[in-house]
Amino acid sequence: MVFPFCEGSGPLDIGNSCVQTVWSAGIPTLLATGFFFASIPISPPAYISRAWSRVNVPFQDSMTSEEAETLTLPESPSYLASEIPTERTSPTWRTTLLIWIAFLEVFLWATRGIYEFVRREGHVRDTICFLVISTTWLYNALKPALYPKATAYIDLFILYTAHLTFGVITLASSLYHFYAYATSMHLVQWMGMTANVAVVAFGLWLISKMPLKIPPDAIKNDIVSIA
């Protein structure tokens, strides 16, 4: 089976630089597009909401952070109620770093796309792929900027994992071709690929250090102390 974007190569010829570039752009784009449409608030029909609430309530042993935030106690001072921990917060140092990392990747991939277009005199395939990769990083930048929270971003974790996987594959393939076939490559390209893997790995580490959810015990303890 021949890959339509790479002449003479199949979709599983991952050692081919063209196939790597296309997959590096295609998979994150599909993921980012799916996450974007999944984040659009769509209200389900009323009968589905009622059925889901009946199923969900018996298994809910503690209130969510949103319920704790809106909880009003009759004898509680209002200023204490505001101290109940919530899932949505102002940007933490982790989310701030994630925003900067993503915007840096946006700039670097867009710059590389423009550079490939100029260097190869209008060869648009790699240019389009690099610009598409740049747009997926724009999603990674805007999500924590517009929706900051203290818990981990599962969608960003998946996207960072995809970017890191293809970054490692590209770097390893380039090293193999360099030592096995003595292919030439500019020092700037080596530095760019290495820095990309390091930065994405650091961002993935930041996301992995964020909690998946706020511990219910923390919410319960705060409510008890307020009462």
Within 10 angstroms of residue 224's Cβ, the number of other Cβ atoms is: 8
Q: State whether residue 148 is helix, strand or coil.
A: coil
Model confidence pLDDT, tens digit, residues 31-63: 999 888 887 777 666 666 666 566 555 544 444
Does this model's pTM top 0.75? My answer is no
Model confidence pLDDT, tens digit, residues 106-136: 998 898 888 878 876 656 888 888 899 999 9
Band of the pLDDT at 216, cuts 50, 70, 90?
low
Task: Work out the angle between the directed axes of helices 93-119 and 187-208 (0-180°, nearest 10).
Answer: 150
Band of the pLDDT at 76, cuts 50, 70, 90?
very low
Domain boundaries, the chain: 1-34+89-227
Q: How far apart are CA 171 and CA 201, in angstroms?
A: 14
List the Cα angle 161/165/171 in 5-degree steps: 140
Q: Is 48 exposed, middle or buried (0-12, 13-18, 19+ CB in 10 A)?
A: exposed
Within 10 angstroms of residue 65's Cβ, the number of other Cβ atoms is: 20
pLDDT: which is higher, 84 or 159? 159
